[in-house]
Amino acid sequence: MDCSVVPLAKHKDLYMISTTDFFYPLVDDPYLQGKIGCANVLSDLYSFGVSDCDNMLMLLGASNEMPRQDRYIVTKQILQGFNDLAKEAGTCVTGGQSVLNPWPIIGGTATSVCSSTEFIMPVHAVEGDILVLTKALGTQVAVNAHQWLHMENNWNKYCEGVVTRDEVERAYDLAMYSMARLNRTGAILMKKYGAHAATDVTGFGILGHARNLASNQKASVDFEINTLPIIKHMKEVDDKAKMFSLLKGFSAETSGGLLVCLPADKAEDFIKEIQQIDNQPAWIVGKVIKSKNGENNNTNTDNNNNIVHNNNTAYIAENVQVIEVWQ
């Protein structure tokens, strides 16, 4: 699961929901990199419908291979970006750990103490649910294509003839600001519209995370993904580069959107309200169906002795639709 859920022994019906994550920089702007690091950590809480984080700790690596003055500027900007987004999320950073490292590192931990009614365990998807995604895919492709702007051999090999330099710059900007945007509104609306389960789409790609989520469900169900909203031109770049598996659902995302299982009669309203509040699109990307494994689906029990169907899976439909995102 995306978070650790621990009952507090001394306090009845209270749980500590916590998560941690960190990574190396993937954008040029250190301030926005700090924001991306913060948004990425908080998204795990948000995938449980936890919209309020009680505390954050920061994990920071300052580069010992940068000139001293550059390191001072870059590290200060990363710190500022992380702290500013934490404040926007209604929380703050109270401590953490910093080290010297060849590459900068940014990440942290996020913790919230909740009653059992204040979070959504990601295990209750049922046949007929609708899958909604709250951020476009293709961030890994966009970031790499942007790096290739300055690597002539790679540009000619992977991008020439399928995308212009201006289009790559625009795709990169879209990806960067998407990664730096909080999924908090989605977490709030998950509770309002009765979401049954969710995960955030990050390093395993949409299909990897969908499969993880499906395997945790109590019901014998599969997830069918029939629509992929992708940053415009990134499909063509991946078709030529053949290294990201974007259409197969395995292209890594950083600080991606929430993949939410919603009742069929609530999905459109969820999308409409998230657009009204964040002025950003969300998409219906699939549905929850009866497991193809049927009676042969192996079962196990989780830590609370609930039955889960370990052979539940997710898959990309053969006739998957691609929506080009250019906002």
Does residue 150 lie in a domain region?
Answer: yes
Is residue 10 helix, strand or coil? coil
Separation of alpha carbons 152 and 165, rounded Å: 12
**What is the structure's pLDDT at 91?**
98
Does residue 270 lie in a domain region?
Answer: yes
Output the furthest CA–CA distance in the chain (Å, rounded): 64
**What is the structure's pLDDT at 292?**
86
111 plus 137 within the same structural domain: no
Angle of the 30-46 helix axis to the 165-179 helix axis, nearest 10: 50
Does residue 124 lie in a domain region?
Answer: no
102 plus 168 within the same structural domain: no
- What is the model's pTM? 0.94
| Angle subtended at Cα 36 by Cα 34 and Cα 42, rounded to the nearest 5 degrees | 105
Residue 304 pLDDT class (50, 70, 90 cuts): low
What proportion of the chain, given as a percentage, has pLDDT over 70? Answer: 95
91 plus 136 within the same structural domain: no
Answer whether 49's CB lies under 8 Å from 191's CB.
yes
CATH code for the domain in which residue 144 is found: 3.90.650.10
Which of 91, 115, 139 is a domain's end point? 115
The yes-or-no verdict on residue 295 having pLDDT over 60 is no
Answer whether 314's CB lies under 8 Å from 210's CB.
yes
180 plus 287 within the same structural domain: yes
92 plus 140 within the same structural domain: no
CATH code for the domain in which residue 88 is found: 3.30.1330.10
**What is the structure's pLDDT at 112?**
98
292 plus 321 within the same structural domain: yes
Domain count for the chain: 2
The yes-or-no verdict on residue 17 having pLDDT over 90 is yes
109 plus 175 within the same structural domain: no
Residue 293 pLDDT class (50, 70, 90 cuts): confident
The yes-or-no verdict on residue 70 having pLDDT over 90 is yes
Does residue 235 lie in a domain region?
Answer: yes
Does residue 108 lie in a domain region?
Answer: yes
Q: How far is CA 46 from CA 40, 161, 191, 254, 311, in A?
A: 10, 40, 11, 15, 26
Domain containing residue 271: 130-325
In this structure, what token pair is assigned to residue 240? 């030529």
**What is the structure's pLDDT at 90?**
98
**What is the structure's pLDDT at 327?**
77
Separation of alpha carbons 136 and 174, rounded Å: 9
Separation of alpha carbons 242 and 158, rounded Å: 9
What is residue 172's DSSP assignment?
Answer: H
The yes-or-no verdict on residue 305 having pLDDT over 70 is no
237 plus 137 within the same structural domain: yes
Does residue 123 lie in a domain region?
Answer: no
225 plus 154 within the same structural domain: yes
Q: What values do phi and psi take at 127, rounded to 5? A: -55, 130
**Listed range (4-8, 206-210, 294-298, 321-325) with the worst mean pLDDT:** 294-298
104 plus 135 within the same structural domain: no
155 plus 230 within the same structural domain: yes
Average pLDDT over residues 268-295: 94
Which of 115, 144, 171 is a domain's end point? 115
Does residue 122 lie in a domain region?
Answer: no
- pLDDT tens sequence across 150-205: 999 999 999 999 999 999 999 999 999 999 999 999 999 999 999 999 999 999 99
Does residue 121 lie in a domain region?
Answer: no
37 plus 137 within the same structural domain: no
Separation of alpha carbons 268 and 37, rounded Å: 30
